Structure 1
Amino acid sequence: MRIALVAALVLSSGLAQADEGQWQPYQMPSIADKLAQRGIEIPAKQLADLTQYPMNAVVGLGYCTASFVSPQGLVVTNHHCAYRAIQYNSKTEHNYLEEGFLANTKAEEPSAGPNERLYITEAVTDVTKSVNANLSADPLTRYQDIQSNRKALIKECETDENYRCSVSSFHNGLEYYLIKQLIIRDVRLVYAPPESVGAFGGDIDNYEYPRHSGDFTFLRAYVGKDGKPAVYSEDNVPFEPKSYLKINADGVKAGDGVFAAGYPGATSRYRLTSELEFASDWMYPTYAKRYQLQIDTINSMAATDNAIAIKYAGNLASMANRMKKLNGLLDGFKATDIVGIKQTREDDFLAWLKKDTQANQNLITELESLLAEQQTQVQTDYYFNNAQSSALLSAAKKLYRLAKEKQLPDAEREQGFQERDMKMFAANLKRLERSFDVSVDKTLWLQDLNAYMGQNQRVEILDNALNQISDAQELSDKLDGYYALTGLTDKEKRLAWMEKDAEAFETSADPFIRLAVALHDTNMAQEKAEKTLKGKLSTARPEYMKAVIAYYKANDWPVYPDANRTLRITYGMVDGYQSRDALYKQPFTRLEGIVGKHTGEEPFNAPKKLLDAIATNDYGKHTVASVYQDPRSWICSLFSCLDKPEEFNSVPVNFLSSVDTTGGNSGSPVFNGKGELVGLNFDSTYEAITKDWFFNPTITRAVHVDFRYILWMMDKVDNAQNLINELELVRN
């Protein structure tokens, strides 16, 4: 039975994966036929052009995706993507996480925080030849040569300080692209529903379906009066984007073709089976255990201290999301034999490879040897790295590293410590003020130190720094002394260390500074070993990928790079699915489902004004009679349609589609076939979590906020008419 299942899924991965692919924009013309089959009418060449609508309205946040929706720089993204901005402006006297926030005028829009940025991708250029020019055969030197070539390209690109450039690796180093992005440095909070709407269902509903989450927030981009990006100032004016998205107020129906654009984080679809086994057997369970302990600890401390609850709200939400994903991955590996599927595909690849007389027959053996070395390295360093997890120690380490790097010419410094990085470096030090508490930091650090001391991979320099303490209470008392004697809890003192030389660190009496100095050489030796291994992999990985791509093309399977936080496009259709519990999940949810889930207790505690609007049937022009195709339409000749398509009569809240997304796609605009905005991506179904490793078209579904629900919230619940007036609404 297992063999039959694996064979069936491997076959389906080749033949039924019509919607698989996180495509680079330039690839759109090559899949124009597939887009047309899904009813995507907007020309593929237009999607490939980053200077044209709609791609020039899609922006990155550095960790999520967003999009411009008005000529006055109004931006929409997910509530959970704007969480830090909401948290930054929340205080005990006005907790916007709990109450929500709406600026009725632009003068009322507060800064989203010194770290918040919008990145507008304007150009993507193939620079593979330049990155791979004149590389050494020595692994460490080869790694350094690649980095030097990348930095040289970045320096040449960043002639204007308003642009941020990067060189990203695609296909594990087989290709490199230079990405040029305009940076908006003044981002402000405009409108956010309360968390009881934006995260309705909380962690219980995370990765689940049906969902009823209003996971949306509006921000605004500001620039100087000259139209150029500038840091926050009351004199700044709204940014005028080159284009902004039209919003289709009629939305989509089941069976409609859709596409999404965004910045997906990371996938591992071309990785070897041994890498999947390592993740499944060691990495994911180990990480999950630590995350759960941290979540339980912060929740316990936040329950009795509202200030802690606000400061750590963003961290807690992020960890809870990672925890749910890790559990989903582990459950998914058990429910579907992903390891078996990968191994069967890999065996077939090896058989194909043997037939190719030109191929390197030893490339898998060589790569496996390096991967085994890498996995040992990860396990060896894990507890030592965690033992340095204090936010203050992390700051001290980075500050000392900065002092050491500043002894070098700027071009030779490590990325993150060059002059181009100093504004963000300072912003990170400042942000600690709003997301740090001594008692929480100490408790979490103590947990990591105890875990370190309870295992065998000990590091002498750390043991010596801790005076080889073995008693838990003695260790706790020692840490109390660290926090009592440090000056790093003071923002101005933290920032002042940016200007000090290495000698000042080496003669400092600050306990965190002293510990950072003591650990520096060991950390640098560890980093050197990691770079040396990366240098070896920079030869082995591309050779492997070259063969894999040839194998995929021979089987007529889609070839696109694994996600790497660069701009991608994915397409699919609005569609439900047969879930793990044998129930068919309909593609749309309704307002009435919020009432059905409401308990009055977190996380199912919908606001009274929202419940009142539902109770009075105050749906207005946002009512949708049916979210299903007319049985007489062409789509129903291909897919089954309901006999009574008129029986919906509500406002759609969330909907499903088969677009191929992952973390980082949160906030991604979801378009109809004409390129009009119809929703925001915010999650995946639980069964689909394993798509980071293997895409199964039958169960892989993304979850989106329906823009009709957003408009209803703005109109009937929060009276955000000032923002509705900014939007360009169209109808079918």
Structure 2
Amino acid sequence: MRNLVAAALVLSSGVALADEGQWQPYQMPSIADKLKARGIDIPAEQLADLSRYPMNAVVGLGYCTASFVSPQGLAVTNHHCAFRAIQYNSSKEKNYLADGFLATSMDKEPSAGPNERLYVTEAVTDVSAQIRDALPEEPLARVEAIENRQKALIKECESDDNYRCSVRSFHNGLEYYLIKQLMIRDVRLVYAPPESVGGYGGDIDNYEYPRHSGDFTFLRAYVGKDGKPAPYAEDNVPYQPKSFLKINASGVKAGDGVFAAGYPGSTSRYRLTTELEFASDWLYPTQAKRFQARIDTIEAMGAADTELAIKYAGTVAGMANRMKKLNGLLDGFKATDIAAIKQQREDAFMTWYASHGDAKQMDELKALIKEGQTQYQTTYYFNNAQSSDLLTAANSLYRLAKEKQKADADRELGYQERDMKMFADRLKRIDSSFDVKVDKVLWQADIEEYLGQNQRVDVLDKMLTVKEGQDLSSMLDGLYAATGLTDQATRLGWMDKTPADFEASDDPFIKLAVALYDTRMAQEKAEKTLDGKLSIARPAMMQAVIAYNKDKGWPVYPDANGTLRITYGMVDGYQSRDALYKQPFTRLEGIVAKHTGVEPFNAPQKVLDAIKRGDMGKHNVDDLYPDARSFMCKLFSCLDKPEAFNSVPVNFLSSVDTTGGNSGSPVFNGRGELVGLNFDSTYEAITKDWFFNPEITRAVHVDVRYILWMMDKVDNAQNLLQELTLVTN
């Protein structure tokens, strides 16, 4: 196999084309030549049309991406994206996280939970003029005017309750787009492998490669009998999407062009060097330290209580993923010196800008950014000291009572009538991921950290005063013992209370929320005022940056902001470090090689047995590296060891440009057929949120052939296989 690696090195492209860009769909015709060069044959105009295949089959989950793969609303996403849905249906007696789940018929598909949604983007409209024209100069009035215009556009867009609309800022406020999405409210769990498949390798392998993760899960969208979105009801029927993805059972091979579509969360590629340095020097280390402490606490408590561990499994997984990403960013900054690269580019820009703009604008922007950093540091520990789930609920409920005193159009986003169903669902969802003991210990740790800081808030200090003969722990015990917010019906009942009801309450968490309200609102006002100043400074600078990039021939696309994007690339490995090349595919044999029987390398016995039997069926591939095979066959007899090329691919790498939120994104071949699911990035590529390096930036995908093999040869999900439309090369 070392010879195979050598051959692959010779054949590696080195990514001659820079595949950078998280493109808005409407931009695809402008990069049609780049798509063609990568072997992507589906017309760029078709990708730009959200009403046509395949883009109308790509859906959002609000935090991840999924895609329809059958005419009966069957959708596929990552296992880690459906983690909370699996957790929601798990118990000590039926632990679907550990054992996996398969509904053998539709009537056995349980609700994924009250908060789960599928969002189908149907329209994206440029509303920049409606938002930006004739705005007030005064910062706070400016922000409020932007918010009011957004709310007016959203209200008009949501004349049909089945749609959820939003107005998103692009290019740091230079542009605004109105996003219209069909919102499906009845989502059900259909098929999930055990966590020992879906998260094989756990946190050890997270962001690493080679990977052998079966990070996939199937969900189904349901609607009312009239075909319109409706809340969960037993007699709802499967949603019939406008189109669903064809699945190419032959998959892809090294060198193939691919593209992915999804909802990337956030990138910072247009941010200044001072912003990267703040993240590197203070923000990321501070956040990572807190995440690690919270993970250690929950895992220690969960080790003695299985039910508690199940409740907090999704929370721990999310924090662990975020923490490893933060540490990867920090390591990447050191390894590549991204700050120096950005500073060099920034200096070159300023040289150009000297003859194209006003240098004072950059100084003003930097001063505002510094003000924002100080503001964030000042309030960080105060905000964390309110981290109890019950206090978070109380704060939201009291804010709701206050907002309800206003006309609906004047309320803050998140507190309008359009938000009430989701508001209630969040209150309900607390029960599935909350335990008093854990909440109290985590909150106490945040309070103690806050109490050790210089930036303190008198009203919070007063509420946290410990009486003589008490300590902080026993004082907090008293708060939890006296509250009614641990009861779901009580929490929901507070949604209809008036501010006077809150102010007369003896519930300790309600009292704390009332006491903190004025301070929280003053903090929010200060943040909005700064946002108002930045809403002038950032767009002005962004306009210049775009002009500069175009002048240099560099790609111009907006930073990720949770909206639908398309990215393209090719199946390719990369040079990880000196003398270490990582091949683009992993195989079933790698699962066995890593298996120790101890979590997280505890592959299920049924998977190991199927591999041992050589039971690969028609999912077997013998030409993952066809050029390398041809090269080796000139040197060696391929007949001697045909098994060296004969296996089911598990994961593969490509150069598509992704980030958080792209989890679950469908990966397409050049004809627009599903060949994999995006689920991770390599450790070296984590810094792509700030700087895209085409030599080492790789995304990690589940190969569709592994998904089909698991369904066919391991879990006998024949009922689902029959729903899929499979094609071959």
TM-score of Structure 1 vs Structure 2, range by shorter chain: over 0.9
1:478-529 CA-partner distances (Å, limit 9, x unpaired): 1000000000000000000000000000000000000000000000000000
For residues 96-495 of structure 1, what are the structure 2 equivalents within 5 Å? 96-356=96-356, 359-467=357-465, 474-495=471-492
Native 8 Å contact 1:631 1:642 kept in 2: no
> Aligned pair in 2 of structure 1 residues 656, 111: CA closer, same or farther (>3 Å)?
same
Choose from 500, 509, 518 the match for 2:515: 518
> Helix, strand or coil for the counterpart of 1:32?
helix
Choose from 656, 661, 670 the match for 2:667: 670
Q: 2:102 & 2:562 partners in 1: Cα distance?
A: 30
* 1:77 partnered with 2:77: yes
Native 8 Å contact 1:255 1:629 kept in 2: no
Deviation of 1:17 after TM superposition, in Å, equals 5.8
Deviation of 1:582 after TM superposition, in Å, equals 3.7
Native 8 Å contact 1:469 1:475 kept in 2: no
Q: 1:66 & 1:643 partners in 2: Cα distance?
A: 44
Q: Which residue of 1 aligns with 2:721?
A: 724
Native 8 Å contact 1:266 1:562 kept in 2: yes
1:530-554 CA-partner distances (Å, limit 9, x unpaired): 0000000000000010000000000
Q: 2:48 & 2:230 partners in 1: Cα distance?
A: 29
Native 8 Å contact 1:631 1:643 kept in 2: no
Identity of aligned residues (%): 74
Q: Which residue of 1 aligns with 2:699?
A: 702
Q: 1:701 & 1:200 partners in 2: Cα distance?
A: 19
Q: 1:31 & 1:153 partners in 2: Cα distance?
A: 30
Q: Which residue of 2 aligns with 1:21?
A: 21
Q: 1:447 & 1:606 partners in 2: Cα distance?
A: 36
Q: Which residue of 2 aligns with 1:602?
A: 599
Q: 2:180 & 2:211 partners in 1: Cα distance?
A: 37
Native 8 Å contact 1:53 1:243 kept in 2: yes
1:113-138 CA-partner distances (Å, limit 9, x unpaired): 00000000000000000011331111
> Aligned pair in 2 of structure 1 residues 550, 468: CA closer, same or farther (>3 Å)?
farther
1:19-49 CA-partner distances (Å, limit 9, x unpaired): 0000000000000000000000000000000
Native 8 Å contact 2:466 2:472 kept in 1: no
Native 8 Å contact 1:57 1:243 kept in 2: yes
Q: 2:296 & 2:517 partners in 1: Cα distance?
A: 31
> Helix, strand or coil for the counterpart of 2:653?
strand
1:148-183 CA-partner distances (Å, limit 9, x unpaired): 000000001000000000000000000000000000
Q: 1:581 & 1:484 partners in 2: Cα distance?
A: 59
Gaps of 5+ in 1: 1-14
> Aligned pair in 2 of structure 1 residues 42, 493: CA closer, same or farther (>3 Å)?
same
Q: 1:330 & 1:287 partners in 2: Cα distance?
A: 12
* 1:570 partnered with 2:560: no
Q: 2:603 & 2:441 partners in 1: Cα distance?
A: 33
Return the letter of the residue paired with 1:603.
P
> Aligned pair in 2 of structure 1 residues 632, 456: CA closer, same or farther (>3 Å)?
closer
Deviation of 1:618 after TM superposition, in Å, equals 0.4
Deviation of 1:713 after TM superposition, in Å, equals 0.2
> Helix, strand or coil for the counterpart of 2:309?
helix
Q: 1:16 & 1:420 partners in 2: Cα distance?
A: 49
1:246-293 CA-partner distances (Å, limit 9, x unpaired): 000000000000000000000000000000000000000000110010
Return the letter of the residue paired with 1:139.
P
Instruction: Kindly tell me the number of residue pairs found equivalent between the two proteins.
Output: 710
> Helix, strand or coil for the counterpart of 2:713?
helix
Native 8 Å contact 1:17 1:696 kept in 2: no
> Helix, strand or coil for the counterpart of 2:177?
strand
Deviation of 1:466 after TM superposition, in Å, equals 1.4
Deviation of 1:355 after TM superposition, in Å, equals 2.1
Deviation of 1:631 after TM superposition, in Å, equals 6.5
Q: 2:103 & 2:705 partners in 1: Cα distance?
A: 21
Q: 2:428 & 2:713 partners in 1: Cα distance?
A: 39
Q: 2:569 & 2:674 partners in 1: Cα distance?
A: 15
Q: Which residue of 1 aligns with 2:4?
A: none
Deviation of 1:408 after TM superposition, in Å, equals 0.3
Return the letter of the residue paired with 2:135.
L
> Aligned pair in 2 of structure 1 residues 502, 721: CA closer, same or farther (>3 Å)?
same
Q: Which residue of 1 aligns with 2:5?
A: none
* 1:534 partnered with 2:531: yes
Q: Higher mean Cα deviation, 457-466 or 396-405?
A: 457-466
Deviation of 1:368 after TM superposition, in Å, equals 0.2
Return the letter of the residue paired with 1:98.
A
* 1:661 partnered with 2:658: yes
* 1:545 partnered with 2:545: no
Native 8 Å contact 1:265 1:663 kept in 2: yes
> Helix, strand or coil for the counterpart of 1:654?
strand
Q: Which residue of 2 aligns with 1:6?
A: none
> Aligned pair in 2 of structure 1 residues 642, 476: CA closer, same or farther (>3 Å)?
farther
Deviation of 1:581 after TM superposition, in Å, equals 5.6
Deviation of 1:470 after TM superposition, in Å, equals 10
> Aligned pair in 2 of structure 1 residues 205, 396: CA closer, same or farther (>3 Å)?
same
Q: 2:465 & 2:584 partners in 1: Cα distance?
A: 60
Q: Which residue of 1 aligns with 2:554?
A: 557
Native 8 Å contact 2:466 2:475 kept in 1: no
> Aligned pair in 2 of structure 1 residues 137, 470: CA closer, same or farther (>3 Å)?
farther
Q: 2:114 & 2:636 partners in 1: Cα distance?
A: 51
